[in-house]
Amino acid sequence: MGRTRGEVAVGTQAAAISVFALSYGAIVSGRVHRTIAAIGGAAAMGLFVFRGDGLLEAVNWDTVLFLFGMMVVVATLEHAGMFRWLGLHAARWARLDALRLFVALPLLAAGLSAFVDSITVMLFLSALTVEVARAARVSAFPLIVAEITAANIGGAATMVGDPPNVILGTHFGLSFGDFALGTGPLALAALAADIGVLLFLFRGEIRRSRERFAERPAERLRAVALLEPREAIEDPTLLRIGGAALAAVVALLLTHARTGIPVGVVGVAGAMVVLLLGGPRHRMPAILESIDWSTLAFFGALFLIVGGLESTGALAAAAGWIRGLGGGPAAVLTFLIWTAALGSSLVDNVPFAATMAPLIEHLAAGGLPLRALVWAAAAGADVGGNATPIGGSANVVGLATYERATGERVRWAGYLRAAVPATAASVLVMHGLLLALHA
């Protein structure tokens, strides 16, 4: 005797929840590569939930295509030497003064991360920071912690700054300008709190460095003279091409509300400009080889996992439970920003954002303010990862570079002593501002 329609629905939902839980568990555990775990989960969703229907529709192609395009543009600028050039300019401006370095380098990290992925920013900036710190006779560790936290905060400021923002922005059709006005003020407030707390915590190290240089002013002048930004540019033509492509992408994103050009098309257009104008003479094969194809596959598979869960009504039920907690918008915004912050301090924020997108959609359908929900989830997910050494890819890259360059091991306790207070202050400031503006 066949099963009823209700029994099939319940069975399908149970299968979707099981696949989702097992896939996310494998991703979080780290025992299986996250892309393999996600592809396995996507295949299971295709077999037991989608059964061939709606597979392609479940993937947020705008996100995948935009990330591909930005990877090409950023790799072009990296090969041209632009990021090291900017870092050397910041160090020269600071004149190797520890206090000025502690402001200039984190601000550079935040500014770049608003447009470029934080992994790339920390790859070049952490290596440069070790060099600069030696010349400035200051420990590189406080500077790198400040750069990591600032990079993740900077990524929260725009729609393109961090993958969770891209996921949420494309899912809800939000523009670059929407995010700049929505999460931008939150990120600026968080950055001020972050740098302020870290300056206080590392004030002794900064003071000692300044005292050492005060005794030998000629030594500092010689060290500053050795910082030559022009030597960082490896390919001026490639720099112009990559810079033009990035400017075009930003311009199209800023005018997205008027033009209606999909975000994915904007990203691919930027990549095509680079690939067509760069040609084989300007490192294009090497740039294509540097694209993180594994991450793109991870995103696609993740959308299938979440799409399968969403299709069974499980996320709608979860949204109903959250609304049932009571307290109105203020309570839900508080729940979202702190859940996102705490969750992303321990696990990758990309799976979290992919799950939150349809959940937020259901919460908004119940009368809650859509944009405020997006800002809460994005800000919490972007900034919460600052709290631990594994809370974000930028954290892992920056600290690993520091360990390789100095031979010193970064201990969790040492990182947590600085990062947890700075992260807590950042999220508290964002939380307060979010409630003041939207609750």
The model's confidence at residue 5, banded by pLDDT at 50, 70 and 90, is very low
Q: Cα separation of 329 and 333, whole Å?
A: 6
Q: Give me the pLDDT at residue 56, please.
A: 80
Q: What is the pLDDT of residues 231-250, one digit of tens each?
A: 888 889 889 999 999 999 98
Lowest-pLDDT choice from 142-151, 167-176, 227-236, 330-339:
227-236
3 vs 361 pLDDT, higher one: 361
Lowest-pLDDT choice from 4-13, 73-82, 152-161:
4-13
Half-sphere CA count of 124, side-chain side, radius 13 A: 25
325 vs 419 pLDDT, higher one: 419
Q: Cα separation of 10 and 209, whole Å?
A: 65
Mean pLDDT estimate for the chain: 87
Max CA distance (Å), the chain: 91
Q: Give me the pLDDT at residue 1, please.
A: 39
The model's confidence at residue 44, banded by pLDDT at 50, 70 and 90, is very high
For the chain, what percent of residues have pLDDT higher than 70? Answer: 93
* Residue at 185: amino acid letter: P
Q: Give me the pLDDT at residue 432, please.
A: 97
Q: What is the pLDDT of residues 284-339, one digit of tens each?
A: 778 888 888 888 898 899 899 988 888 888 888 888 888 777 678 999 999 999 99
Please check the confidence at residue 3 and state whether its pLDDT lies above 50.
no
Running DSSP on this structure, what letter comes out for residue 229? G
The model's confidence at residue 225, banded by pLDDT at 50, 70 and 90, is low
Please check the confidence at residue 198 and state whether its pLDDT lies above 70.
yes
Q: Can you give the length of the chain in residues? A: 439
> Could you tell me which residues come within 8 angstroms of residue 439 by beta carbon, excluding any fewer than 6 positions away?
328, 329, 330, 333, 372
Q: Give me the pLDDT at residue 196, please.
A: 97
- Type and span of the H or E element at 434: helix 412-438
Instruction: Give the count of beta carbons closer than 10 Å to the beta carbon of residue 287.
Output: 25
For the segment 169-184, the average pLDDT, to the nearest whole number, is 93
The model's confidence at residue 4, banded by pLDDT at 50, 70 and 90, is very low
* Residue at 357: amino acid letter: A
The model's confidence at residue 202, banded by pLDDT at 50, 70 and 90, is very high
Q: Cα separation of 145 and 398, whole Å?
A: 8
Q: Give me the pLDDT at residue 342, please.
A: 92
* Residue at 122: amino acid letter: M
pTM of the model: 0.85
Q: Assign residue 233 a region: left if phi > 0, alpha if psi is -120 to 50, beta otherwise?
A: beta
Please check the confidence at residue 388 and state whether its pLDDT lies above 70.
yes
The model's confidence at residue 8, banded by pLDDT at 50, 70 and 90, is very low
Q: What is the pLDDT of residues 246-289, one digit of tens each?
A: 999 989 988 877 888 898 999 999 999 888 887 666 567 788 88
- As a whole number of Å, the end-to-end CA separation of the chain is 53
The model's confidence at residue 2, banded by pLDDT at 50, 70 and 90, is very low
Q: Give me the pLDDT at residue 415, please.
A: 94
Q: What is the pLDDT of residues 70-109, one digit of tens each?
A: 889 988 988 888 888 988 888 888 888 889 999 999 999 9
CA dihedral over 377, 382, 385, 387, signed as positive or negative: negative
Please check the confidence at residue 412 and state whether its pLDDT lies above 80.
yes
Instruction: Give the count of beta carbons closer than 10 Å to the beta carbon of residue 281.
Output: 9
The model's confidence at residue 215, banded by pLDDT at 50, 70 and 90, is low
Q: Cα separation of 298 and 347, whole Å?
A: 15
